[in-house]
């Protein structure tokens, strides 16, 4: 009897809890409905390198100017659900018609922030509630899996810092979008834990292959030999610092000429930079770790700087490795990437790197232009090859992964973009494929 009563009580409790939650949700819906006609704050963010004018698009004839948002800047407005806003580069003309706007967005409660050029989020009441929950603090476990002590610091609050002994775990209350830095005994930042989504509990620091190479005290690798290279297209004599023969890894000082990088940066900014890395909950990452844009082969201007850079790099690959690579619109677009503080690119191979036979149409080589070198950190390291390239302005690195025996590399071209500690890093990555042409462009060979 007693046991039965207990069961009933527990079930009744569970039921009442259920309906409490429901009631709470209904209440929040009512509150939401009531709030619908109240103004709310919305922040506009300008991700571009040039200012943008922000306009309110009313029912009148002309959009009205609200203000100018500086590059990287923000603009706060108080708005109502459904109101429309637009933006454009400044001083195009005295007046502004909706046709001249570069983009528009409708304000929706719960949006809080809109980044020009990004797809706005549409939230219904239920999604909004979930959104709010996802901002709640939760307890995350930070474990030091290295053999030495590390210091863990909240990047938003430097006084929130703690030593973590080897093997020890610290439990901290965190929120999504926050960053936690792991620094070694000598104060060097070795790893950054990013809270990507609500309830992401496990955050470990472990020594990885690239950790020591990325460390500031590790000097860049010395070349095994330096080759003279005659750049026929530009009539320049360049030096190629061979860091490794096969697979080839070569550093190219002074690879780009003055104006080359500015041209590519300009194109990338006109196209618009978007988040380079997709996280579980992309919208909430407080500061982006990398943004990127694709630069296509120009069909309208055969002698454009982008096309010229592609031709030069392909010539170099042909010369150094006898690759049968043809530049053209059927090759992959270049990728312009900008890293800010704390940005990194985790270890990866650009092509196949498991010693399998080359497959037709696959990538065979990569050339990375270092357009803007970082101040501290941000090296490119090849963990298995144990090589480190410290970028300098206008230099580049070339690595090839199809070997002369027809097989692919077995991991020596695995590389990582080390954590950027100071400054900004801008690179333009180019991939080369054999066996692609107009009839069979690169996109035909995506597995």
Asked whether the beta carbons of 282 and 255 are under 8 A apart, the reply is no
From the list 15-23, 110-118, 134-142, 297-305, the region that binds ligand NAG by CB under 6 A is 297-305
Residue placing its CB nearer to ligand NAG in the complex, 157 or 322: 157
- Tell me the residue length of the chain: 447
Is residue 299 involved in binding ligand NAG (CB under 6 A)?
no
Alpha carbons 38 and 41: distance in angstroms, whole number: 10
Alpha carbons 161 and 84: distance in angstroms, whole number: 44
Collapsing DSSP to helix, strand or coil, 50 comes out as coil
Binding residue (CB under 6 A) for ligand NAG from 104, 239, 319, 335: 239
From the list 50-58, 88-96, 128-136, 302-310, the region that binds ligand NAG by CB under 6 A is 302-310
Burial profile 321-338: b = 16 or more Cβ within 10 angstroms, e = fewer: bebebbbbebbbbbbbbb
Query: What sections of 174-257 are H helices per DSSP?
Result: 211-214
Is residue 270 involved in binding ligand NAG (CB under 6 A)?
no
- Torsion 187-193-199-201 (CA) sign: negative
Alpha carbons 102 and 400: distance in angstroms, whole number: 40
**CB of residue 350 vs ligand NAG: minimum separation in angstroms?**
25
**CB of residue 256 vs ligand NAG: minimum separation in angstroms?**
11
The helix-helix angle for 260-271 and 305-321 (nearest 10°) equals: 120
Largest Cα separation within the chain, whole Å, is 98
The 10 Å Cβ neighbour count of residue 105 is 21
Tokens representing 248? Answer: 């080839």
Is residue 173 involved in binding ligand NAG (CB under 6 A)?
no
Give the total of residues touching ligand NAG (CB under 6 A). 10
β-strands 225-231, 236-244 pairing? antiparallel
**CB of residue 349 vs ligand NAG: minimum separation in angstroms?**
28
Binding residue (CB under 6 A) for ligand NAG from 92, 97, 98, 254: 254
Residue placing its CB nearer to ligand NAG in the complex, 46 or 380: 380
**CB of residue 381 vs ligand NAG: minimum separation in angstroms?**
21
Binding residue (CB under 6 A) for ligand NAG from 37, 173, 301, 447: 301
**CB of residue 2 vs ligand NAG: minimum separation in angstroms?**
49
**CB of residue 255 vs ligand NAG: minimum separation in angstroms?**
10
Residue placing its CB nearer to ligand NAG in the complex, 223 or 411: 223
Residues 149-168 that bind ligand NAG (CB under 6 A): 157, 159-160
Residues that bind ligand NAG (CB under 6 A): 157, 159-160, 239, 253-254, 301, 303-305
């Amino acid at each position: 009897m007693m046991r039965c009563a207990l069961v009933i009580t527990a079930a009744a409790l569970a039921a009442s809890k259920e309906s409490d939650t429901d009631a709470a949700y209904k209440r929040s819906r009512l509150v939401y409905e009531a709030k619908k006609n109240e103004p709310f704050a919305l922040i506009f963010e300008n991700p571009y390198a040039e200012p943008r004018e922000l306009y309110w698009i009313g029912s009148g004839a002309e959009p009205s100017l609200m203000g100018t948002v500086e590059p990287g800047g923000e603009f706060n407005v108080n708005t109502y659900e459904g109101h429309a806003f637009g933006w454009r580069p400044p001083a195009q003309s005295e007046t502004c018609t909706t046709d001249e706007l570069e983009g528009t967005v409708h304000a929706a409660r719960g949006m809080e922030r809109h980044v020009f050029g990004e797809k706005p989020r549409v939230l219904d009441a239920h999604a909004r509630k979930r959104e709010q929950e996802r901002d709640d603090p939760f307890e995350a476990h930070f474990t030091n899996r290295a053999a030495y002590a590390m210091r863990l610091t909240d990047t938003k609050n430097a006084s929130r810092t703690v030593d973590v002994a080897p093997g020890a775990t610290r439990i901290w209350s965190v929120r999504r979008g926050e960053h936690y830095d792991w620094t070694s005994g000598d104060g060097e930042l070795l790893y950054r834990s990013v809270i990507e989504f609500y309830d992401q509990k496990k955050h470990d620091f472990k020594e990885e292959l690239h950790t020591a190479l990325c460390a500031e005290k590790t000097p860049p690798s010395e070349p095994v030999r330096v080759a003279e290279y005659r750049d026929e297209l530009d009539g320049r004599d360049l030096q190629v610092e061979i860091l490794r023969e096969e697979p080839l890894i070569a550093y190219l000082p002074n690879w780009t000429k003055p104006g080359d990088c500015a041209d590519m940066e300009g194109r990338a900014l006109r196209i618009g930079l978007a988040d380079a890395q997709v996280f579980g909950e992309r919208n909430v990452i407080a500061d982006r770790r990398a943004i990127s844009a694709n630069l296509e082969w120009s069909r309208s201007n055969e002698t454009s700087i982008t096309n010229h850079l592609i031709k030069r790099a392909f010539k170099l690959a042909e010369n150094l490795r006898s690759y049968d690579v043809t530049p053209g619109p059927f090759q992959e677009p270049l990728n312009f990437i900008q890293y800010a503080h704390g940005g990194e690119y985790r270890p990866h191979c650009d092509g196949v790197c498991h010693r399998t036979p080359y497959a037709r149409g696959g990538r065979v080589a990569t050339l990375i232009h270092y357009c803007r070198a970082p101040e501290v950190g941000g090296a490119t390291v090849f963990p298995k090859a144990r090589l480190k390239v410290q970028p300098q302005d206008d230099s580049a690195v070339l690595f090839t992964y199809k070997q002369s025996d027809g097989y692919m590399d077995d991991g020596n071209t695995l590389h990582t973009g080390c954590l950027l500690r100071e400054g900004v890093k801008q690179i333009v990555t180019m991939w080369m494929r054999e066996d692609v042409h107009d009839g069979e462009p690169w996109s035909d060979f995506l597995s």
